[in-house]
Amino acid sequence: MGGFLLRRIGQGLLVVIGVTLIVFIATRMVGDPVKVMLPLSATDAQRAAFAQQIGLDRPIGAQFVDFVGDMARLDFGESLWQRRPALDVVLERLPNTLKLIGAGLGLAILLSLPLGAIAALRPGGWVDRTTVFVGLFGLSLPQFWFGLLMIVFFAVTLGWLPTSGMGGARYYILPAITLALPSLARLVMLVRSSMIDELNQQYVRTARAKGLHFRRVVMVHAMRNTLVPFVTLAGWELISALAGYTVVVETVFAWPGLGLTAMQAIQKSDLFLLQAIVFIVAVLIVIINVGLDVIYKLIDPRIRLA
């Protein structure tokens, strides 16, 4: 296991280095960063002074060496919008995003396993048809529109929940449900189809013929085999939420996380803050992938033996 983890961590470092190179190229080769970060009214003298201040007047090779050195020291520069180190802004907003993802994906995972398993026990029954309908509904409905509908109905019309912002438990309900809906739809459909396949396998019929209780066959044997694709999709949902879905949900509900911060950094042309966000998200995705590989080894003996 130790050698495996070292290999995966090494591969992850290569990914982070590749992302760092892409960020450097995107921020320096596509247009003039100085023109992007300064207002249109800035004079040529102001642009030249600003370029010298942040080191963009140097040759591109020297800029890349400085950029890599800054990344190694986790020095992303000062946010032009917040007027403080960009990494401090990211680390301040990151816990808010992780809390929202934990609430939303936790809800999706807790509901998808029992709903998918119950639906698979009686294909074509009312539970199965309801589950399929909810799954198709969640996959078809645009996430931002669903969030706005939730705000209009539960916050504006009924006045039960806050419309936006972050606070106590009440503030988590609407954004967590909005974030959970598409993930719940995909996960429950996967669990349903995987369980139906597993329950039709020969080992299930053999276990039942030997007198093993049906509940044990379902919960111990069939469910364990279903967990391998389930963990794969759940990990993909976690990465997708961290890298994209939260931008939509946090913007709709004005949730002070990384997604909303990234949108505001784009609007304010704060390239230093964007670099910090992209780098931290890339590191988190690498950590998640390594964690998923470890979980695979724990739940699937075939991978462990290989």
End-to-end alpha-carbon separation of the chain, Å?
12
DSSP character for 78? B
What are 134-170's pLDDT values in tens digits?
Answer: 888 888 888 888 989 999 999 898 888 898 888 888 8
How buried is residue 278: exposed, middle or buried, by Cβ count under 10 Å (0-12/13-18/19+)?
buried
For residues 198 and 222, is the Cβ–Cβ distance under 8 A?
Answer: yes
pLDDT recorded at residue 300? 66
**Confidence at residue 304, expressed as pLDDT on a 0 to 100 scale:** 55
| CA distances, 93 to each of 100, 259, 268 (Å) | 11, 9, 17
24-58 confidence digits (pLDDT tens):
777 666 556 676 667 777 777 877 787 777 777 77
Note the pLDDT tens digit of each residue in 76-115.
878 877 888 888 899 999 999 999 999 999 999 999 888 8
Among the ranges given (58-72, 178-192, 235-249, 281-295), the one the predictor scored with the smallest mean pLDDT: 58-72
C-alpha span between 20 and 13 (Å, rounded):
10
CB count in 10 Å sphere of residue 100: 28
Q: Which two structure tokens, joined as six digits, stand for 159?
A: 């006045």
Q: Which residue has the tokens 């950590």?
A: 287
Is pLDDT of 303 > 70? Answer: no
* Predicted TM-score of the model (pTM): 0.82
